[in-house]
Amino acid sequence: MITSKTISNGILRALLTLTFCGLVLFFFYQIQSVLIYLVVSFILTLIGNPILDFFKKRLKFNHIVATIATLFIFILIIFGFIMMFVPLILSQGQNLSLLNTTEIEKDILQLITQITVFLDNHQIDSAQVLQEANITSKINFNFIPNFLNTILGTLSSLGVGLGSVLFITFFFLKDRLMFIVGAKKLIPNSHEDQILHSLEKINHLLSRYFIGLLLQLFIVFLLYLIVLFLFGVPNALVIAFLCAVLNIIPYIGPLIASVLAAILTMLSNLGSDFQSEILPTTVYVLIGFWIVQIIDNNLSQPIIFSKSVSSHPLEIFLVILIAGFLFGILGMIVAVPLYTIIKVMGKEFFPENKIIMLLTKDI
């Protein structure tokens, strides 16, 4: 018989459970930076494991030396990316120290005026719309100094984060066997073999996936760089790198990269004639970027990803599409790794299921 005391105890337990869950979520929210560091370090560890094994097996390094060598490679790559931005920073240093927002606003307004004149000469109603909207009166560049201060603060935070990530990654690589032994103690004996085999397979597939992702981004970066060099766009290295990084976001990232490339190309040619120089160069760059995307979407991306996670290209496309509808851009980014984990766990714990057998036949 349900009494008032039983009901009150149930309500109390529910409130305590909700309070505890709320506190846990609040705690995770407060340490979100630390969680991001751990996730990034875990990804670097997955990428670094094959490199570490190469040093140990091929070059006969001991474990500590192999770990240091692997971390040193990461540092060299990061340093190379930083040095890629140094010429841009140095070339703009004097302008930033003597920043004249009025001059910047004048250049941008000049570009808008050229666009308006071009559209008007070709009898396009958009020119009249631009004039009626009075866009020029709405542009205000006084926010730029504050924006630059924000960038400096962000760079400082990135420095702390980078140091933390490298430190954590070092111990993830160095003590990975210790972590495995510790995990064994937490795993129920009845499922120990299944879980350990799943973790080993997940580690192998995700390592291949992230290495494949880096390879795909590197190919896109080189192709973007060739396009920008062909049409003489200043700071081609930086623009190609930024646009290549945006390709991490499946399908949407390349569109954003094309828009970013078009804007940066136009801004880099401020002062030139819009119809004879700015517009043709921008159009050529966009066509080049679209050709790169056709190559990437139909050749490099399907081959690299399908091989790395042992999934059919159509399967990967549908997984990314569904994740994007359900969870947005973040879902699209993490869709393939999470789907790979689910497939591996499904094969280990439900090997007789016909759907799982069909999806995991190549794993």
Q: Between residues 27 and 147, which one has the greater pLDDT?
A: 27
What is the model's pLDDT at position 149? Answer: 54
Tens digit of pLDDT for each residue in 147-170? 445 555 555 667 778 888 899 999
Residue 224 pLDDT greater than 90, yes or no: yes
With contact defined as beta carbons under 8 Å apart, do 168 and 37 qualify? Answer: yes
Q: Is 151 helix (H, G, I), strand (E, B) or coil?
A: helix
What is the model's pLDDT at position 144? Answer: 47
Which range has highest mean pLDDT (9-13, 64-68, 315-319)? 64-68
Q: pLDDT band at residue 130, thresholds of 50, 70 and 90?
A: low
Tens digit of pLDDT for each residue in 181-219? 776 777 777 777 777 778 788 888 888 888 888 888 899
Average of per-residue pLDDT across 38-57: 87
Q: Would you give the distance in Å from CA 257 to the centre of its chain?
A: 13
Q: What is the 3-state secondary structure (H, E, C) of 196-256?
A: HHHHHHHHHHHHHHHHHHHHHHHHHHHHHHHHHHHCCCCCHHHHHHHHHHHCCCCCHHHHH
Cα-Cα-Cα-Cα dihedral sign, residues 255, 260, 261, 263: positive
The helix (run of H) or strand (run of E) holding residue 19 is helix 4-30
What is the model's pLDDT at position 222? Answer: 92
What is the model's pLDDT at position 167? Answer: 92
Residue 314 pLDDT greater than 90, yes or no: no
Phi, psi of 26 (to 5 degrees): -65, -40
Residue 97 pLDDT greater than 50, yes or no: no
Residue 50: burial class (beta carbons within 10 Å; 0-12, 13-18, 19+): middle
Q: What mean pLDDT is reported for the chain?
A: 77
Which range has highest mean pLDDT (24-28, 32-36, 183-187, 324-328)? 24-28
Q: Between residues 22 and 356, which one has the greater pLDDT?
A: 22
Q: How far apart are CA 132 and CA 339, in angstroms?
A: 50
Phi, psi of 2 (to 5 degrees): -80, 120
Average of per-residue pLDDT across 257-262: 88
Q: How far apart are CA 204 and CA 338, in angstroms?
A: 14
Q: pLDDT band at residue 132, thresholds of 50, 70 and 90?
A: low
Average of per-residue pLDDT across 106-135: 62
Chain position carrying tokens 């971390």? 71
Q: Between residues 103 and 45, which one has the greater pLDDT?
A: 45
